[in-house]
């Protein structure tokens, strides 16, 4: 007569199985964490750019201490456009460790004149329409810039409190220094940036 009873395991065998399962569980978690870290690295290095805006230079579009996300892929497949809000390497920082966030005002080959609180492009008598400005811009002196090919002239939306192309030693941002087009704010609130 055959015995159909389940074979009994000794306490030592049960303990070994528990140890083995615990080892498997730990390895499984380590694998998950490594994969998550690799995905985060790839996303942050090649697909998105994350930046914190420390000043009021882009208010009211982006408020002080807002965190924004930009697409690194945008300018691989299309050209920057006037009015884009972008993350770029600050042109006066040769280490390329400082990100700035500003709006593209002057395109390659443009002339930019700033007078009477307005921006005029390419000799036009009509000022650039800028509904995103926080307040009228103070212009104690007239300014004139000629944007070189492959470069951009950047300004903040809060013009009276923005350290931008008007004040930098290296006035223009080269195309290769553009990191990403800002898409949205994710902290402290979520919102699209335009």
Is the bond preceding residue 188 a cis peptide, omega within 30 degrees?
Answer: yes
Is the bond preceding residue 63 a cis peptide, omega within 30 degrees?
Answer: no
3-state SS assignment for residue 190 = coil
57 is catalytic: yes
10 is catalytic: no
Sign of CA dihedral 63, 67, 69, 72: positive
3-state SS assignment for residue 159 = helix
CA angle 78, 81, 82 (to 5 degrees): 175
Determine which one of 51, 102, 162, 165 is catalytic.
102
Tokens representing 60?
């009211």
Determine which one of 18, 51, 55, 57 is catalytic.
57
Count of C-beta atoms within a 10 Å radius of residue 91: 20
Count of C-beta atoms within a 10 Å radius of residue 105: 24
**Active-site amino acid positions:** 57, 102
């Amino acid at each position: 007569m055959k015995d159909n009873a389940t074979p009994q395991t000794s306490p030592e065998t049960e303990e070994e199985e528990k140890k083995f399962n615990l080892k498997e569980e730990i390895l499984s978690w380590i694998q998950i964490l490594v994969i998550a870290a690799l995905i985060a690295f790839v996303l942050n290095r090649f697909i998105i750019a994350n930046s914190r805006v420390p000043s009021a230079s882009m208010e009211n579009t982006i408020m002080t201490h807002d965190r924004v996300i930009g697409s690194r892929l945008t300018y691989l497949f299309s050209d920057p456009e006037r009015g884009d809000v972008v993350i770029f390497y600050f042109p006066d920082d040769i280490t390329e460790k400082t990100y700035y966030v500003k709006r593209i005002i002057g395109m390659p080959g443009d002339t930019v004149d700033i007078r009477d609180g307005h921006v005029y492009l390419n000799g036009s008598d009509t000022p650039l329409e800028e509904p995103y400005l926080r307040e009228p811009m103070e212009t104690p002196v007239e300014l004139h810039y000629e944007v070189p090919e492959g470069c951009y002239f950047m300004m903040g939306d809060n013009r009276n409190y923005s350290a931008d192309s008007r004040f930098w030693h290296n006035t223009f941002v080269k195309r290769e220094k553009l990191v990403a087009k800002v898409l949205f704010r994710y902290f402290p609130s979520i919102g699209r940036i335009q």
